[in-house]
Amino acid sequence: MVTQTYKRIPVAVLGATGMVGQRFIDLLQGHPWFELVALAASEQHGGRAYSEATRWRLPNSEMPVEVASLPVVACRPEALPGVKVVFSALPGEVAGDIEEAFARAGVAVFSNAKNHRMAPDVPLLIPEVNADHIAAIAFQRKERGWPGFIITNANCSATPLVMALKPLQEAFGVRKVLLTTLQAISGAGYPGLPSYDILDNVIPYIGGEEEKLESETRKMLGSWQEGQGFVDAPLAVSAHCTRVSTREGHLECASVELEREASPEEIIAVWEGYRPLPQQLGLPSAPEQALIYRREVDRPQTVRDRDAGKGMSAVLGRLRPCPIFSYKFVVLGHNTIRGAAGGSVLNAELCYAQGLLADL
Ligand X SMILES: N[C@@H](CC=O)C(=O)O
Parallel, antiparallel or unpaired: strands 250-258 and 174-183: antiparallel
Q: Taking the alpha carbons of 120, 125, 130, 132 in that order, is the dihedral positive or negative?
A: positive
Give the catalytic positions in this structure: 156, 250
Residue closer to ligand X by CB (options 99, 121) is 99
Residue 192: which residues within 8 A CB-CB, separation 6 or more?
185, 186, 198
User: How far is residue 13 from each of residues 25, 76, 144, measured CA to CA in Å?
Assistant: 7, 12, 24
The reply to whether 339 sits near ligand X by the rule CB under 6 A is yes
Cβ nearer to ligand X, comparing 40 with 341: 341
Alpha carbon distance 189, 331 (integer Å):
22
Number of other CB atoms surrounding residue 296 within 10 Å: 10
DSSP codes joined into one string, 4-66: --PPPEEEEEESTTSHHHHHHHHHHTT-SSEEEEEEEE-GGGTT-BHHHH-----TT----HH
Is the Cα torsion angle 349, 354, 359, 360 positive or negative in sign? Answer: negative
Stretch that binds ligand X, among 9-17, 28-36, 182-190, 344-352 (CB under 6 A): 182-190
Per CB under 6 A, 183 contacts ligand X: yes
Choice from 209, 216, 305, 349 touching ligand X (CB under 6 A):
209
188 binds ligand X, rule: CB under 6 A: yes
In whole angstroms, the minimum distance from the beta carbon of 305 to ligand X comes to 16
Tell me which H or E stretch contains 212: helix 209-220
Q: Is 206 in the site for ligand X (CB under 6 A)?
A: yes
Q: Is 187 in the site for ligand X (CB under 6 A)?
A: yes
Per-residue x/- track, 40-79, ligand X (CB under 6 A): ----------------------------------------
The Cα-based distances of 223 to 125, 132, 292 in angstroms read 12, 8, 25
Residue closest to ligand X (Cβ): 187
The radius of gyration computed from the CA coordinates of the chain, to the nearest angstrom, equals 20
Asked if 115 interacts with ligand X (CB under 6 A), we say no
Instruction: For ligand X, give the closer residue by CB, 242 or 354.
Output: 242
Q: Identify residues 127-156 at the interface with ligand X (CB under 6 A).
A: 155-156
Stretch that binds ligand X, among 71-79, 161-169, 180-188, 221-229 (CB under 6 A): 180-188
Task: Determine the size of the site formed for ligand X (CB under 6 A).
Answer: 9
Q: For residues 138 and 303, which CB has a smaller minimum distance to ligand X in the complex?
A: 303
CB nearer ligand X, residue 74 or residue 251? 251
Contacts with ligand X, residue ranges (CB under 6 A): 155-156, 183, 187-188, 206, 209, 335, 339
